[in-house]
Amino acid sequence: MKRKTIKTPQTLKGVGIHTGEVCSITFKPSEQGYISFIRTDLKAEPIIALAKNVSSTLRGTNIANEKAEVHTIEHVLSAANGLGITDLIIEMDGPEPPIMDGSSLPYAKAMLEGELKEIDQTAEVLHLEKEITFQDGDITYTANPCQDFKITFVYERKGHPLVSHQEYTFTLTPESYLKEIAPARTFGFEEEIAFLQANGLAKGGSLENCVVIKKDGFSVPLRFDNEMVRHKILDLLGDLKLTGKVLGPMHITCKLGGHKTNVAFAKKLTEEN
């Protein structure tokens, strides 16, 4: 498998969901062998998208170096993972990518608009030799060698009248990613919004970029009946990009995972294999 980048730079602009700050993000061609983020508003080195650089996983995945931090990078990285992009420079003039519509589809479309291009170098593929498991309380991950790359995700919100249990299995190709996963939006529960805002989060959240789940309905019409579990797969694909490798054929099953455990599992995958 060859490494992949884009041919022409593409820019998107908008508000970050947690910081509420307006930011321009530009995807640029690269042949450096990895994905990096550059804060053009700061004098700082690029931050490489690797699990060891994760600085926080509170409601999103942030990475940092000594002088700069970028927040909520998982949807952008998910788009790159979904399309098989291995090499990319991502410039941002603020701390957090624009949330756009809350899904990864706008990023994936921008990357496709920039035209994918193969680099004449073999990608570093993580081939699984044996089963790898990870557990943290009720949260579990297993990865088994398989023919394709698949994810089964089990999402639960025990006792909730609308989203108590959702389960979905997804086999990754660029086409299936664009159709089944990329459109699934960020969601939050009505009762949590006050807590998030008290903690300085969700300042940029709105009806345009987030599905708010109430006891008796959703703030906007859903794109899929099981949009929540699809978004959990979207997030997991983004966090797994922090392995810095292309994940080879394997079946990952995740129950109840979130950003913190996704990153721990990404570390385990790279360390134990």
Active-site residue set: 259
- Residue closer to Zn ion (CB basis): 128 or 204: 204
> What is the nearest approach in angstroms of Zn ion to the Cβ of residue 99?
9
Would you call 196 helix, strand, or coil by DSSP? Answer: helix
Q: Interacting stretch for Zn ion, rule CB under 5 A, among 109-117, 152-160, 196-204, 232-240? A: 232-240
Nearest CA to 207 out of 186, 225, 192, 228 is that of 186
> What is the nearest approach in angstroms of Zn ion to the Cβ of residue 235?
4
- Residue closer to Zn ion (CB basis): 36 or 186: 186
Taking each helix axis from N to C terminus, what angle separates 227-240 and 74-83, rounded to the nearest 10 degrees?
A: 80
Residues 88-107 binding Zn ion (CB under 5 A) are none
- Residue closer to Zn ion (CB basis): 57 or 273: 57
Nearest CA to 185 out of 70, 109, 100, 256 is that of 100
In the bound complex, which residue of the shown chain has the CB atom lying closest to Zn ion? Answer: 235
Would you call 70 helix, strand, or coil by DSSP? Answer: strand
The angle subtended at Cα 85 by Cα 171 and Cα 64, nearest 5°, is 110
3-state secondary structure 11-23: EEEEECCCCCCEE
- Residue closer to Zn ion (CB basis): 186 or 243: 186
Q: Interacting stretch for Zn ion, rule CB under 5 A, among 119-127, 134-142, 143-151, 235-243? A: 235-243
| Residues 6 or more apart whose Cβ sits within 8 Å of residue 184 | 103, 223, 224, 227, 228, 230, 231, 233, 234
Q: What is the distance between the alpha carbons of residues 165 and 255, in angstroms, rounded to a whole number?
A: 11
> What is the nearest approach in angstroms of Zn ion to the Cβ of residue 72?
8
Q: What is the distance between the alpha carbons of residues 195 and 98, in angstroms, rounded to a whole number?
A: 22
Please say whether the beta carbons of 96 and 72 come within 8 A: yes
How many residues bind Zn ion (CB under 5 A)? The answer is 2
Q: Out of 69, 91, 227, 235, which residue is the one contacting Zn ion (CB under 5 A)?
A: 235
Q: Interacting stretch for Zn ion, rule CB under 5 A, among 23-31, 39-47, 80-88, 229-237? A: 229-237
> What is the nearest approach in angstroms of Zn ion to the Cβ of residue 75?
6
Residues 30-59 binding Zn ion (CB under 5 A) are none
69 binds Zn ion (CB under 5 A): no
- Residue closer to Zn ion (CB basis): 5 or 262: 262
Residues 167-226 binding Zn ion (CB under 5 A) are 186
Site residues, Zn ion (CB under 5 A): 186, 235
